[in-house]
Amino acid sequence: MTQYKIPNATIKRLPLYYRYFQFLDDSNKQKISSNELAQALQIDSATIRRDFSYFGSLGKRGYGYDIKLMLGFFKELLNQDKTANVALVGVGNLGSALLNYNFSQTNNIKIVEAFDKNPKIIGETVHDVPVYDIADVKQHLKEQNIDVVILSVPVKSAQQVTKQLVAADVRGILNFTPLRLSTPDSIRVHNVDLANELQTLIYFLNNYN
């Protein structure tokens, strides 16, 4: 599939569409109108239609969207039929919390191994996930064929650990540290900063409205 012209904003909405159709299907709904969809997702219907148009014509005028069809479509598009195995680096407070969560609401993402430098937890199992020495990260990732890593180390070691991940041929990093990582262009980094999200929300509430 070549989709080089699809905007990033559209791609970021794909999992949302997928999960909403999953939810509708779980609720035994059969179809949904464009307007209902727009209202439920809080995205205006022109945007939804434009998003869907990148993948061909998915709805029927006057009928709306067939939920099973849409679900199947997004499932394939997002490779939801196979589980994506990922690793987590940094089993501290947040890392341990993420291992506990382990994306349990979605059945296609799984953290299968974790890494740390703390000898006290190396060799242990945290929330059913084995913890290995970060020094051996390259070997373990290779064995499990994993190239996507969740980074939840303390900010002070974030860049140093990133170097190790680069050397281990990681392709994607979901960065939970507040540091903006310096990486080669070939590596894709997405930043998630929970404290940042909450601080920003509070800032808006304090300074606007």
- Residue 43, Cβ density class (10 Å: 0-12 exposed, 13-18 middle, ≥19 buried): middle
Task: Tell me which stretch binds a second copy (CB under 8 A): 15-23, 115-123, 138-146, 160-168.
Answer: 15-23
The span from the CA of 155 to the CA of 179, in Å, is: 6
154 binds a second copy (CB under 8 A): yes
Residues 29, 25: Cα–Cα separation, whole Å: 6
Nearer to a second copy, 54 or 133 (CB): 54
Q: Which residue lies nearer to a second copy by CB, 111 or 134?
A: 111
Binding-site member from 5, 81, 98, 135 for a second copy (CB under 8 A): 98
196 annotated as a binding-site residue: no
Note whether 194 binds a second copy by CB under 8 A.
yes
Q: Does 35 bind a second copy (CB under 8 A)?
A: no
Q: Is 93 annotated as a binding residue?
A: yes
Long-range CB contacts (within 8 A, 24+) of 191-198: 194/94
Q: Which of 91, 151, 168, 181 binds a second copy (CB under 8 A)?
A: 181
Q: Does 174 bind a second copy (CB under 8 A)?
A: yes
> What's the 3-state SS for the chain?
CCCCCCCHHHHHHHHHHHHHHHHHHHCCCCEECHHHHHHHHCCCHHHHHHHHHCCCCCCECCCEEEHHHHHHHHHHHCCCCCCEEEEEECCCHHHHHHHHHCCCCCCCEEEEEEEECCCCCCCCEECCEEEEEHHHHHHHHHHHCCCEEEECCCHHHHHHHHHHHHHCCCCEEEECCCCCCCCCCCCEEEECCHHHHHHHHHHHHHHCC
Q: Consult the annotation and say whether 92 binds a ligand.
A: yes
- The reply to whether 91 sits in an annotated binding site is yes
User: Of residues 37-96, which lie at the interface with a second copy (CB under 8 A)?
Assistant: 39-43, 78-79, 84, 86, 93-94, 96
**Residue 28 engages a second copy in binding (rule: CB under 8 A):** no
Sketch the per residue contact string, 100 through 139, with a second copy: x for CB under 8 A, - otherwise.
xxxxxxx--x------------------------------
Binding-site members for NAD(+) are: 90-95
Contact set with a second copy (CB under 8 A) = 1, 3-4, 11-12, 14-16, 18-20, 23, 39-43, 78-79, 84, 86, 93-94, 96-98, 100-106, 109, 147-148, 150, 154-156, 171-172, 174, 178-182, 186, 188, 190, 192-209
